Structure 1
């Protein structure tokens, strides 16, 4: 992925985040007011979940704007990693909120609050429409980065919360079973937590500079060794700077009879076409280095 395409994708994501943030913020205020007026603890709890949506969207927006700052002498890779930090923070926030919902639902089972189901139903329906609109706005960008994916998941989980509140309001309206509200909350928490954990693991893997999930290091190494003229490849490192920006460094031992630059170019083309890695730093050697004990014939190529 080249830089211009990367910046264009981020610009599109930024506009979508702004629209979703405005929409969610307006409804957050409305839902808090509605919860107070109807004395609905369920709506106020859902407003707390909506608050995490607004926070997540705001953080994601800040992360994208910080990520556009150019590289400097202190941060030579630029500020792209802020995007991953935002994704990790968002997922931790969602994880804690989901745990709180499960805990609060358990507490209510023994003492279910009195709920004004009609007002609860109307506000929850409006909330669902707002969440669906925000999801539609973010859909086109949700797979472009972990940052956008986490923001989308926040809105998606809140949409499920709205559906649960709607179902609960209807059942309570016709049966008077207040405990249904707690049951729905538990089911939503159980459904959201595993998906949140998966996204958190992806973010942590990037922060720990782990090999991207879509790349098999053994397969990549075998492919590089298969290039004509390559005798050995070692000190191979592959990591993700931010979503869509995979970097690779390696030492390559090249047959002395071959043109080093041509061999390295073939390796770079192989990594780009088969593994989607366009940012590579390859160091060619005439023989394998032994942890700095030997001085090798070096040449740096990016």
Structure 2
């Protein structure tokens, strides 16, 4: 017998979140166009790399915006979970794109080390300042939602790293202007690329764990089983599955053997205890239990279906 028990969640304001994403998209389109033109005119690889990163920001923000819209859609008979995982998929795509962009930048930077040439540093300085201001504004717009939503965190990280990249490009522009050390342009590009890999990998790993239905890192299954065994009449807990649907929902599915042939009303009372126990101690807010009595099956905690 299954039971679904959901406690109250903290909800973001989707309309405000969507508006902030749209503003960030427009700002990044402006930055990208300006930096591409400026990079071609000035001959700066770091400025072009920043533009490429900004372009990836535009794509990632669009993906995040579409995912945020889909996540609000209602469930249906052929989509019983609705689109609750849309934002997790967006986070995975965005974090993977950060790493891909980084690899492209590393290749270009290595080639530039062996082919340095003068760069119009004034263009680099002014356009990097534009990037700092525009991305800084976008970061402030998304910061609040990034704390509670993996999709928004992926978009926030894209913008934060791009703002930091623009700071690095500004420093490089000043060095090239006053000291004519043009190899700094390639060095900065490498630094930007390695930082992209650093911030992208953690989010890629987290979103992959959710998509693969892995048990959240904060939950130990053996401790849950031990806690449930302390409830009267429960003889055995086995065939346990725990997975995270999205940021708000963690699901527990298990078979429970009872030491007596209890009535359905008694099971409902015990189920209420189980729900309260796993919610308050482990943060699990959706429970599905299959009750059993003297059933012959595999009694191991984890059973491969």
- Per the normalisation by structure 2, the TM-score is 0.88
Higher mean Cα deviation, 113-122 or 218-227? 218-227
Gaps of 5+ in 2: 300-305
Q: 2:106 aligns with which of 78, 102, 110?
A: 102
Give CA deviations for 1:207-247 in whole Å, capped at 9, x if unaligned: 11111122122222222222233211111111111222111
Aligned residue in 1 for 2:303: none
After superposition, the Cα gap between the structure-2 partners of 1:3 and 1:272, relative to the gap in structure 1 and judged at 3 Å, is closer
Q: Offset at 1:35? A: 2.9
Q: CA RMSD in A?
A: 2.2
Q: Is 1:283 the counterpart of 2:283 in the alignment?
A: no
Give CA deviations for 1:148-202 in whole Å, capped at 9, x if unaligned: 1111111111112101101111111111111011112212222331331121111
Aligned residue in 2 for 1:297: none
Any runs of at least 4 consecutive aligned residues in structure 1 with deviations exceeding 6 A, and if so which? Answer: none
Higher mean Cα deviation, 207-216 or 10-19? 10-19
Counterparts of 1:111-130 in structure 2 under 5 Å?
111-130=115-134
Q: 2:150 aligns with which of 141, 146, 153?
A: 146
Counterparts of 1:119-268 in structure 2 under 5 Å?
119-256=123-260, 259-268=266-275
Does the 8 Å contact 1:69/1:78 carry over to 2? yes
Give CA deviations for 1:56-109 in whole Å, capped at 9, x if unaligned: 111001011111111112221111112111111111111010111111111100
Does the 8 Å contact 1:142/1:148 carry over to 2? yes
**In 1, Cα distance between the equivalents of 2:28 and 2:129?**
14
Aligned residue in 2 for 1:84: 88
Aligned residue in 2 for 1:273: 280
Q: Offset at 1:271? A: 1.2
Match of 2:214, SS state, is: coil
Aligned residue in 1 for 2:78: 74
**In 2, Cα distance between the equivalents of 1:7 and 1:71?**
18
Does the 8 Å contact 1:41/1:113 carry over to 2? no
Higher mean Cα deviation, 9-18 or 260-269? 9-18
Higher mean Cα deviation, 28-37 or 57-66? 28-37
- Per the normalisation by structure 1, the TM-score is 0.89
**In 1, Cα distance between the equivalents of 2:207 and 2:63?**
15
Q: Offset at 1:7? A: 5.3
**In 2, Cα distance between the equivalents of 1:68 and 1:195?**
28
Aligned residue pair count: 292
**In 2, Cα distance between the equivalents of 1:11 and 1:269?**
33
Does the 8 Å contact 2:75/2:82 carry over to 1? yes
After superposition, the Cα gap between the structure-2 partners of 1:281 and 1:255, relative to the gap in structure 1 and judged at 3 Å, is same
Higher relative contact order (CA 8 A, sep 6+): 2
